[in-house]
Amino acid sequence: MRDLSQKSVLITGASRGIGAETARAFAAAGARVALLARSREAIADLAGEIGDQALAIPCDVSRYWEVAAAVDATVDAFGGLDIVVNNAGVIDPIAPLVTSDPADWAKVMEINVNGVYHGMRAAMPVMLEAGGGTILTVSSGAATHALEGWSHYCASKAAVAMLTRCADLEGRSGGLRAIGLSPGTVATDMQVQIKASGLNPVSRLTASDHIPPDWPAKALVWLATAEADDLIGTEVSLRDPAIRRRIGLIP
């Protein structure tokens, strides 16, 4: 077990799926975790499960002032902010470009792109003033591969990959570690929406094709440590067997 005792971590989209498993994984490594999501009851339940080292903060990442207030609350509660995990993201509604709803398309951008920017913008000054920190962002293979019905998701993940590169370019000299994680297909509620759409090859995958959500969670904990310093500024693919072995997910 990697030791992150005395580290404080802020996780967006922490109410379920990868976010909830990431909160459990960081807490198991000894970190204090701030759980952000719009679902008040879900993050309150998760904080109760984790215990005193968890703080539930209702937050809509598409609103910068809410994210900034969450960063302030985390610093006040834990005495600092060492790690941010930008995990919040949506894919629904899946639709071809020609029938997509402009308002729905824009809402996905507000969450998937603006939400990541807000996390970086609110956390980076705190981290740079403290001499460094880690910003981990959940990306996707959709950042580089177009898929039918996913114009909103592909475009948003491509933007997120570039945000990671920009954060690295501007922050590395100040001790900032910015890394993206592309986990592949993960067995979460999002796969139910994808399956129901029937629009591209991902919708035709079976349950056995997806990795469990604790795999990307363990990967994010690993990326937060010095073991991953050679990967700073990059997009790390969890589909890569060499990466899986380094993390300890496979022999």
Percentage of the chain lying above the pLDDT 90 cut? 87
- Does residue 145 lie within any of the structural domains? yes
115: domain CATH number?
A: 3.40.50.720
- Does residue 203 lie within any of the structural domains? yes
Residue type, 67: V
- Does residue 3 lie within any of the structural domains? no
The number of domains in the chain is: 1
Model confidence at 165: pLDDT above 90: yes
Residue-wise pLDDT tens digits, 153-163: 999 999 999 99
Neighbours of 20 (CB within 10 A): 26
Q: Which long-range contacts (CB under 8 A, 24 or more apart) does 70-76 make?
A: 70/10, 70/34, 70/36, 70/122, 71/10, 71/122, 71/123, 71/126, 73/34, 74/8, 74/10, 74/34, 75/8, 75/126
- Does residue 1 lie within any of the structural domains? no
- Does residue 242 lie within any of the structural domains? yes
Q: 93: pLDDT confidence band, cut at 50, 70 and 90?
A: very high
Q: 129: pLDDT confidence band, cut at 50, 70 and 90?
A: very high
Residue 1: predicted pLDDT:
60
Residue type, 147: L
Spell out the alpha helix ranges (H) of the chain: 17-28, 40-50, 64-78, 102-109, 115-130, 151-171, 189-197, 214-223, 241-247
Residue 188: predicted pLDDT:
83
**Active site positions, annotated:** 153
Model confidence at 195: pLDDT above 70: yes
- Does residue 2 lie within any of the structural domains? no
- Domain of 231 in residue numbering reads as 8-247
